[in-house]
Amino acid sequence: MGSVAILASGNGSNFQAICESLAGTLHDVVGLICDRKDAPVLERAKRLQIPHAAVSYGRGNRKHPEKAEYEIIRHLERWRPDLIALAGFMRILSPELVAQYSGRIINIHPSLLPKYPGLHAIERSYAGDDEVVGITIHFVDDGVDTGPVIRQKSIARADGETLDELESRIHELEHATYPQVIAELLDGKLAAIGKFRDP
Ligand code: GRF
């Protein structure tokens, strides 16, 4: 029996997939933290009756992210999650926060890292000439999309596929894979980084 807190900034389709999938298990989504008070993910949290909080990186906090992170830590200390899952969280966590929750923060990225880290990964995958594209779930370290890989899933490019179609297939893959990896981590089935690789 384990718990996960989710950090997200936008749409929240991964957040919802995780909540719906874990609802049938012994594991709990204990809360959502969002850095945009108008983000659709907050509406999803309300509908799903998941505790949620909006933290502000605005104005003063933009130059001093430690203030926003102080709020984040306050919520995390209240919820005491076993795992923290970033799901479309568009901020970079400070090395101090990453160290504080070392090995317990994971992220999902819509490319086969180390290809296309950072923003617009799906568009860049689409524009590339790779025969396969995919997703990566990895531990968060101090870099941008650089931490140790937990799992990658790939799909073959389809002839004549539009960007929207590829994007939908990538999201479907995310929604199927991220909840599964979270459940496995909380089950304690993925106990060592060396065992995580699953091409
Ligand atoms: C996903 O593609 C995820 O890989 C990336 O941001 C997107 C979030 O989508 N990090 P959503 O908010 O979960 O719908």
To test the ligand 1 pocket, which listed residue (174, 178, 181) has its Cβ within 8 A of the most ligand atoms?
174
Show the ligand 1 pocket: residues with CB < 6 angstroms.
Answer: 8, 10-15, 87-88, 108-110, 174
Each residue's pLDDT, cut to its tens digit, for the chain (199 residues) gives 899 999 999 999 999 999 999 998 999 999 999 999 999 999 999 999 999 999 998 765 556 678 899 999 999 999 999 999 999 999 999 999 999 998 999 999 999 999 999 999 999 999 999 999 999 999 999 999 999 999 999 999 999 999 999 999 999 999 999 999 999 999 986 654 333 433 3
- Mark whether 109 is an active-site residue: yes
Which amino acid appears at position 162 of this protein?
Answer: T
The rounded distance, in Å, linking the Cα atoms of 58 and 64 is: 9
CA–CA separation, 126 and 98 (whole Å): 31
In this prediction the pTM is 0.93
Strand order from edge to edge, sheet including 3-8: 52-54, 28-34, 3-8, 83-86, 105-109, 132-139, 149-156
Q: Which of 27, 52, 109, 175 is catalytic?
A: 109
CA dihedral 82, 182, 118, 42 (to 10 degrees): -80
